[in-house]
Chains A and B, each alone.
Chain A
Amino acid sequence: EVQLVESGGGLVQPGRSLKLSCAASGFTFSDYYMAWVRQAPTKGLEWVASISYDGGSTYYRDSVKGRFTISRDNAKSSLYLQMDSLRSEDTATYYCTTADNFGAFDYWGQGVMVTVSS
């Protein structure tokens, strides 16, 4: 059974940093692109970042470029999101997802909440 378990969320002040982790199991992690998708409270979904199988290629939405860094450790079957210079508009539930060969986000974690507030 595919499992994606996010951790590392919490309350953080504007301008500070936070690192999210996603532990994957039940599939061959290195065979999948991975992504982070977020959802602000009572809002819709928004793609944040993606990473290739070996981590050699990364992709970001414009609003997080230069502030967020997506990475992975295939030996540990883990995905990460380093979030620096956090803003109030980054407040959201962050989901870890797999991305299949057709670009579909086919498996999702339960999500982790990040609140940016003073």
Chain B
Amino acid sequence: DVVLTQTPPTSSATIGQSVSISCRSSQSLLDSDGNTYLYWYLQRPSQSPQLLIYLVSKLGSGVPNRFSGSGSGTDFTLKISGVEAEDLGVYYCVQGTHDPYTFGAGTKLELK
């Protein structure tokens, strides 16, 4: 199975600060159809996960544009430009290029 390694495991930020989360894959996530099936999710405390980003950099429905995704191949980054209180929780990267879907271990975003 594809292993996704997220760093850092925990990130502390102040409101308004920009943060980045890295996701590194054990295999290239570029599919033969030309798409890269890399997604980002946020799970707020005691809530279900919410889709933030799909296909590396496309914003999910209703997701604020302070969230952005980038990367290619095996290295991907989620950036939050100006953290807000509602952004706290655990962020997961997920790949769907290779069977089975696999999730990173998560990055917990906390208030400093």
Kindly list chain A residues whose C-beta atoms are within 8 Å of the C-beta of B101. Answer: 47, 103
Say if the beta carbon of A75 comes within 8 Å of chain B.
no
Query: Taking each of B48, B94, B105, which has the highest tally of chain A beta carbons within 10 Å of its own beta carbon?
Result: B48
* Residues of chain A with a CB closer than 8 A to B71's CB: none
A105 touches B51 (CB 8 A): yes
How does the 8 Å CB contact mask read for A79-118 relative to B, with 1 for contact and 0 for none?
Answer: 0000000000000000100001011111011110000000
Does A45 make an interface contact (CB < 8 A)?
yes
A67: interface (CB < 8 Å): no
Residues of B within 8 A of A46 (CB): 103
Q: How far is the CA of A10 from the CA of B106 in the complex (A)?
A: 27
Report how far A95 CA is from B94 CA in the complex, Å: 16
- Tell me the chain B residues, 1-52 only, with Cβ under 8 Å from chain A: 35, 37, 39, 41, 43, 48-51
> Do A47 and B100 have beta carbons less than 8 Å apart?
yes
Q: A44-B103, A47-B100 are in contact. Are A108 and B55 (CB under 8 A)?
A: no
Q: Find chain B residues with CB under 8 A from A105 CB.
A: 39, 41, 49, 51, 94
Is B65 part of the contact surface with A, judged by Cβ < 8 Å? no
Is A108 within 8 A of B39, CB to CB?
A: no
Count B-side interface residues using an 8 Å CB cutoff: 25
Closest chain B residue to A60 by CB distance?
A: B100
Question: Across the interface, do B92 and A103 meet the contact criterion of CB distance under 8 Å?
Answer: no
Cβ contact within 8 Å between A108 and B50: yes
Among residues of A, the one whose C-beta sits closest to the C-beta of B35 is A102
Residue of A47, A95, A106, A109 touching B102 (CB-CB under 8 A): A47
Question: In the bound complex, how far is the Cα of B55 from the Cα of A75, in angstroms?
Answer: 31
Given contact pairs A47-B100, A59-B99, A103-B37, A95 touches B49 in the complex (Cβ within 8 A):
yes
Q: Which residues of A contact B (CB under 8 A)?
A: 37, 44-47, 59, 61-62, 95, 100, 102-106, 108-111
Given contacts A44-B103, A62-B100, A110-B48, 5 further A-B contacts (CB under 8 A): A44-B92, A47-B102, A95-B49, A102-B35, A105-B41
